[in-house]
Homo-oligomer: A and B are copies of this chain.
């Protein structure tokens, strides 16, 4: 049985890929080259796809910079650095990209139906200062309805299931789960800057560092300082 896994090469999606494998699925990984600031994460995604034994890894290319949307991830807008978790917890972050997960999930659904996969896994996480609207359970549940009604598979009684196993987990819990599943953390990449050495100051690095600390695990990445 096949499962499509949305894979960015970060902590959450890598853990999700290993979880899907532990549940016995053949993994069809899909990553997106969408005009983000950098392609460093795609290198990690490719490496993780190999290590988890994905039977396919597709990279879908399109360009969200064409309408900007004011996101710090698809423009030269400055990334916030060294924010406290209180600051991160306020509202929707500037790294929000309009409807990004809806686009990713739509491609994941298309891929799943085309290859006959039964599920689509996404590592969305609603806890720990994630203000992203398209990471919340109510949104993901609405996408499940779209998966069921919007496909031939669904209309014929074989709906493709959307799995979001990390959505209610804290980051330290995700680290512990990934550790147990053998995620090769040294191959993952979380930094928003795209530098070869992770910056250690963007929201994503700070949350990662804090998560490993709280979980009592060592993060094998070297940070720029």
Question: Which A residues are within 8 Å of any B CB, using their own CB?
Answer: 58, 60-64, 66-70, 92, 96-103, 105-107, 109-111, 113-115, 133-134, 136, 138-139, 142-143, 145-146, 149-152, 154-156
Contacts and interface: CB of A to CB of B under 8 A. Distances in A.
Contact of A151 (B68, B99, B152): B99
Contact of A98 (B60, B61, B102, B152): B152
A139 B133 contact: no
Contacts of A109: 98-99, 102
Given A58-B67, A149-B133, A113 B142 contact: no
A154 B70 CA distance: 16
A34 to B, nearest CB: 9
Majority secondary structure of chain A interface residues (helix, strand, loop or mixed): helix
A192 B52 CA distance: 41
A142 B139 contact: no
A66 B61 CA distance: 11
A68 B156 CA distance: 20
A114 B149 contact: no
Contacts of A106: 99, 102-103, 105-106
Contact of A142 (B101, B138, B146): B146
A67 B154 CA distance: 19
Contacts of A63: 60-61
A66 B60 contact: yes
Contact of A146 (B66, B111, B143): B143
B142 A155 contact: no
B139 A69 contact: no
A113 B99 CA distance: 8
A109 B67 CA distance: 11
Contacts of A67: 58, 110-111, 114-115
28 contacts: A58-B66, A60-B62, A60-B63, A60-B66, A61-B63, A67-B114, A68-B114, A69-B113, A92-B156, A97-B110, A98-B110, A98-B113, A98-B152, A99-B106, A99-B107, A99-B110, A100-B110, A101-B150, A102-B146, A103-B107, A105-B106, A133-B152, A134-B151, A138-B149, A139-B149, A143-B146, A143-B150, A146-B146
